[in-house]
Structure 1
């Protein structure tokens, strides 16, 4: 397929890549904490688990602010047209992006609710804390924890699909969909 001349704005690219770094870092730290660290072994392990969760929240809460900026930017700045795709592929791309945005909102908001229900502070980049979303509710914690985990893993699957389709565009379709979001690529 012929190369199309299209590109996202510098701001859209910066928000995209900043969110990718923040979300994937927060997910890796959250998964590490959940899979490899436990409370109740000894004081050192408890402190390591607590510090790791605090780091996870400090990074993950940044995504709340970034997604708000990204949604505002997306609403006020039209992205480049999806060209060279069938109508079905265009609909699938739009649906995938809507799901990605929805999950980028839900995962940190449910994490915020989880910390609130557990009675823990919610730090933002170690600079300040945001108020609880819910009152302390220990009975809700296991349910909210499960929802947070399921949504986070669903987000990971959608991200893998997003990357996979970008690579498909580059290697199979031979169009510039992938390059349109890379830094340095001009319109």
Structure 2
């Protein structure tokens, strides 16, 4: 009986961590999700490795980081807009506290991603530098801040970036646990559907 309770508690905790609120996602939502994953990983990888690159390569990596950041911001806007529009999700009719908690995981990730995007723009502009979108420059709309403020914004940007990676890693690990250990459909809800799938 104790093992059964422990197993049930583990399944519940990992369902929440996986963000499984039993929502059935449409194909466009699934596509946006995986584009977000790829861009977040690319952003984090670039930020953690450009310090080891020679100067010309480092500049290219930083410009790529800004460009992908702007692209990620656009994806987030589309994703949030799509999610808010009716008819793109079909959650179960009877949702309990587990579903609400799982949905909360999504909201936390959305808030962190939006916050990180805003911090990215503000960080660049607070240093009186233009944002670059694949060579197209976007000058700062406000006056530069003090060095201390600029540094604090950079620290916040780094902290939120790590928070996203840690929470997203737990989110992914929980989904994989359900797929490979519990063998349920938590992960399948966010995988591209094959032709003929319901």
Deviations 1:80-111 (A, max 9, x none): 426999x3432321111000101111111101
1:19 equivalenced with 2:36 (yes/no):
yes
Q: Which residue of structure 2 aligns with residue 51 of structure 1?
A: 60
For 2:45 and 2:93, locate their aligned partners in 1 and report how far apart those are by CA, in whole Å. Answer: 34
Match of 1:113 among 122, 125, 142: 122
Task: Indicate whether 1:171 and 2:180 are aligned.
Answer: yes
- In the other structure, the counterpart of 2:6 is none
| Cα offset, 1:138, TM superposition | 4.2
Q: For residue 181 of structure 1, what is the aligned residue in structure 2? A: 190
Instruction: Give the gaps of 5 or more residues in structure 2.
Output: 1-10, 12-21
Query: Aligned residue for 2:145?
Result: 137
**Structure 1 residue 152 and structure 2 residue 161: aligned?**
yes
Change (3 A) 1:133 1:158: farther
Cα distance, 1:32–1:104 mapped onto 2, change above 3 Å: same
CA distance in 2, matches of 1:99, 1:10: 23
SS at match of 1:81: coil
- Specify whether residues 165 and 82 from structure 1 end up closer, same or farther in structure 2 by C-alpha distance, changes over 3 A only: farther
Shift of 1:169: 2.2
Please give the TM-score of this superposition, normalised by the length of structure 1. Answer: 0.81
Structure 1 segments (4+ residues) deviating >4 Å: 82-85
1:32 and 2:41 are equivalent in the alignment: no
Please say if residues 112 and 133 of structure 1, whose CA atoms lie closer than 8 Å, have aligned partners that are also in contact.
no
* Unmatched runs of 5 consecutive residues or more in structure 1: 38-44
